[in-house]
Structure 1
Amino acid sequence: MSESVTDNKEYTFFLPNFCSVTSVFILSIGAQLIAFMLILATGDKLSESWDELGLLSVFVQWIALTSAGVLCLSKRWLSKLPLFWSAVVAYFMIVLTTTIISATAQYFLISIDYQWGSVPETIGQFVFRCSAISAILSLVALRYFYVQQQWKQRIELESQARVEALQARIRPHFLFNSMNIIASLIRTDADLAEQAVEDLSELFRASLKQSGSMVPLSEEWILCRNYLRIEGLRLGNRLTLDVDLQRVPQDAAIPMLTLQPLVENAIYHGIQPLPQGGAITVLGTMSGNMVCITIVNPVPKQEGGIKTHGNQIAMANIRHRLNLLFGSHAKLIVNKTDELYEVKVLFPYIKGGV
C-alpha cells in the first residue's frame, strides 16, 4: 500500500520526468535557445561570435543536463516532501549545480588564459552572474511546471467526473423494462430470468468500477453482450447482430464503457424507432498498429438519422476519454446517411491483458 501511495505522489509531482528521453531532448533545445539569446544580448555580430557561441552552448548544455540528472536522481525523494519544500529544494539544487559548474568552468578558462567576453571577470563575479541568471530562469521554469501540472490535474479531474457521470448513467426506462422482463420470465423461464439478472448485475458492476480504467477489448465486449442480451429479450426478432471481432487482438486495452454506450445509442436511436427493427453490425479491423472498431445501424428515414441530444452527450464523453488516454492517436469518426449511421473507434494497440 505504501508503495502505491509513493508511486501516486510521483505521478502527481509537479516536475516533469527528467529521466525520459523526451524531457532531455526538449531541455537541450531550450538550453541551446538560451545560448543564442545570450549571444544576441551582447550586441556582437553573430558572424564574429561563432567560437564564443560554441563555448557558451557547451557551458549552458552542461548546466542544463547536469541539473536534469540531479533532479532525475532525486525525484523519488523530492516527491515525498510537501509541495513548498520540494519546490524550494529543487530550486536550490539547480542554483547550486549552476554555481559549481560556473566556478569550475571559469577556473579552467583562467588557467588556460582564456578571456570570456570583452570585460575580464574574477571567478566570484562570473559565478555570481551565472547563478543570478540561473536563479531567475529556474524560478520561471518551476512556476511554469507547477501551473502546467495544476492544469493537467484539473483536466483529469473534469474528465474523471464526466466518466463517472457516463458510467452512472443507466437509463431508468431500461432498468424498469429489464425488471419487468425478469419478473415476467420468472414463472415461464426461470433459467432465462436468472441469466437476465446476471447480465443486469454485470452492467451495474461496471458502472461502479473506478472511472477511467482501461480494460481488454474482450471484457468490454462481454459488457456489450450482456447489454444486448437484455435488449434482445425486449426487442425479440426486431434486433439482429452481425459481430466480427476476430481480426483484432482481444487483449487490446480500451477505456471501459466505450463500446457499450455506442451500442446503446444504436438500439435507442436506430433499431427501436424502426417498426421492423434491424441489424447492428460490429466489425473489428487492424491497420498497422491501429485498432478500428466499426458499429453500423439503420436509422429511420423520416428523422434524418439519430437524435442529436442523447447521442452527442455519449459521443463527447467517449471522444474526450480517448483523447485523454491516447492523445491525437485515437479518433472517433461518425458517418451518416439517410439510412445508416456508422461510428468508427480508432485507437493504438496497447496490450491490456485478457
Structure 2
Amino acid sequence: MHKKSTSKPSQANFFLPELCQAEALLGLVLLAELLVLVLVLAEPINQGFDWSRLALTSLFVQWVVLLTAALLCVLRPWLAHLKAVPASLITCLIVMLLTFLCSWATQYFNAEYLGIYLRGESLGVFYLRNLLISLIMSAIVLRFFYLQSESKRQQQAQLQARLEALQARIQPHFLFNTLNSIASLVAIDVDKAELAILDLSDLLRASLANHNGLSTWQQEVNLAQQYLSIENHRFGERMQLDWQIENVPPQLPIPHLTLQPLLENAVLHGIQPSVAGGTISVQASYQHNSLQLKVSNPIPEQVSPHKGMRLALDNIQARLVSHFGPTAKLITTRQGAVFIAHISYPCSLTPTEADQDHENLNR
C-alpha cells in the first residue's frame, strides 16, 4: 500500500510523457516525420524530388521511434525514480542503441536499400550520422518535454496557491456573517442562540475538515443545511426553503464551500431585508456528465447587490474554473423580483463512484 502511494506521485511528476497513450505516440510519430522531411529536403535536388529516399528514410526513422516508444513505455516507471539528468542520459543511450540496431538490421537484411541510402558514403559514416542525428534529436525532444513539465508544475503551484488564497478569503466571510446571525439571536431567544452555537460548532468542523479544495455534493448539502438550521433559528417562518434535486450523485465532486455561500447571499440579500421574508429555491440536476445548480431568492425593492455579494460570487467562479476548466460558469441573472445564481460545470464520475447508491436529497 505504501509503495503504491509513493510511486504514483513520482510518475505523475516525471517529465517524460506516457508514450503508451495514443495522443503522445501520435505527436512523436508526426515529429519524426517532420525530421524525415528536413533530412531529405536538406540534400541537393538535382533531378527532382527523390520520393523513394523519402519513403525509405521515413520507414527507418519510424521503426526507431516506435521501438523507442515501446521500450520507454515499459521502462518509464523505473526511470521516474531517477533524477532528470540521469533519466535523460539513459533515454538518449536507449535511442542511440535502437538506432544502431536498426542501422545494423538495414545493413544485414536490406543491402539494396542501404545502397540507395548511402550514395557513395562509407558504412562507418552511415552509422555515425545516424547515431549523431538520433542523439541530437532525442536531446532536443527531451529538453522540450522537461521544459513543458516544469511549466505545468509551476502552473499547478500557482493554481494551488490561488485556491488556498480564495479559500482563506471566503471562510472568514462566512464565519463573520454566521456569528452576526447568532449575536442577533441572543437578544431574542437565549435557548435558540445556544442551539445555533452548537450548530455553528458542527458547521465549522465540517467546513474546516476539507483541505484539498474539492468536496462532494452530499457534503455540500449537509454543510448548507447546517447553515440554514442556524438561520432558521433567527428567521423562523419568514424563511421558506424549496429543494428540487434530481439525479445528483452524492459523490459528485464540487468545490468546497460552493452551495453555502450562495445560500448565505440569498439569506442576507433576499430574506433579511424583507419583513415578509420569502422562499429560497435550490434546483439541482445531473445530466450528460454536467451539474446544473440554481439558487434563487426574492429581491426586496429597496435592496441592491453590494461588494460583499460580488466577492463571494467571484470566489466561487474562480474556483470552478480552476477545478473544472473554462467551461465551468457561474451566471447571475435577475428575473423580475427574483435573483438567480446558476452554476454549471462538466464532471464525470469514476465507475466506482457511479455504482454507489444515490440518496434522495429532495426535501
- TM-score, normalization by structure 1: 0.82
Q: Does 2:36 correspond to 1:39?
A: no
Residue type at the aligned position of 1:349: S
Equivalent positions of 1:41-120 (< 5 A) are 41-44=42-45, 48-110=49-111, 114-116=115-117, 119-120=119-120
Secondary structure at 2:121 match in 1: coil
Residue type at the aligned position of 1:350: L
Q: Which residue of 1 aligns with 2:329?
A: 332
Equivalent positions of 1:16-31 (< 5 A) are 16-31=17-32
Equivalent positions of 1:153-192 (< 5 A) are 153-168=153-168, 169-171=171-173, 172-177=175-180, 180=183, 188=191
1:272 Cα offset (Å): 4.0
Residue type at the aligned position of 1:342: A
**Which whole-Å CA distance do the structure 1 matches of 2:75 and 2:115 have between them?**
35
Secondary structure at 1:240 match in 2: strand
**Which whole-Å CA distance do the structure 1 matches of 2:229 and 2:39 have between them?**
69
Q: Which residue of 2 aligns with 1:349?
A: 348
Secondary structure at 1:116 match in 2: helix
Equivalenced residue count is 347
**Which whole-Å CA distance do the structure 1 matches of 2:294 and 2:48 have between them?**
59
- TM-score, normalization by structure 2: 0.80
Secondary structure at 2:242 match in 1: strand
Q: Deviations over 1:235-278 (max 9, x none)?
A: 44443322211233333233333333333344445544555444
> Percent identical across equivalent pairs?
30
1:325 Cα offset (Å): 3.7
Residue type at the aligned position of 1:27: L
Q: Deviations over 1:266-321 (max 9, x none)?
A: 444554455544433221234423222222334455665x33x4455444544444
**Which whole-Å CA distance do the structure 2 matches of 1:107 and 1:324 have between them?**
56
1:51–1:162 Cα change, 3 Å: same
1:311–1:145 Cα change, 3 Å: farther
1:302–1:83 Cα change, 3 Å: farther
Q: Deviations over 1:206-246 (max 9, x none)?
A: 33422234x43222222222222223333444433222112
1:201–1:84 Cα change, 3 Å: farther
Residue type at the aligned position of 2:244: D
**Which whole-Å CA distance do the structure 2 matches of 1:222 and 1:312 have between them?**
24
Q: Which residue of 2 aligns with 1:206?
A: 207
Which shows bigger deviation, 179-188 or 13-22?
179-188
Residue type at the aligned position of 1:82: K
Q: Deviations over 1:5-55 (max 9, x none)?
A: 221111111121222222112222222232233333335499743332222
1:108 Cα offset (Å): 3.5
1:3–1:136 Cα change, 3 Å: same
**Which whole-Å CA distance do the structure 2 matches of 1:319 and 1:65 have between them?**
44
Contact 1:241–1:280 (Cα < 8 Å) also in 2: yes
Q: Which residue of 1 aligns with 2:216?
A: 216
Contact 1:185–1:193 (Cα < 8 Å) also in 2: no
Q: Does 2:261 correspond to 1:261?
A: yes
**Which whole-Å CA distance do the structure 1 matches of 2:137 and 2:267 have between them?**
57
Q: Which runs of 5+ in 2 are unaligned?
A: 357-363
Q: Which residue of 1 aligns with 2:360?
A: none
**Which whole-Å CA distance do the structure 1 matches of 2:210 and 2:239 have between them?**
29
Contact 1:66–1:97 (Cα < 8 Å) also in 2: yes
1:57 Cα offset (Å): 2.3
1:332 Cα offset (Å): 0.8
Contact 2:99–2:134 (Cα < 8 Å) also in 1: yes
The two structures, once aligned, show a CA RMSD in angstroms of 3.3
Q: Which runs of 5+ in 1 are unaligned?
A: none
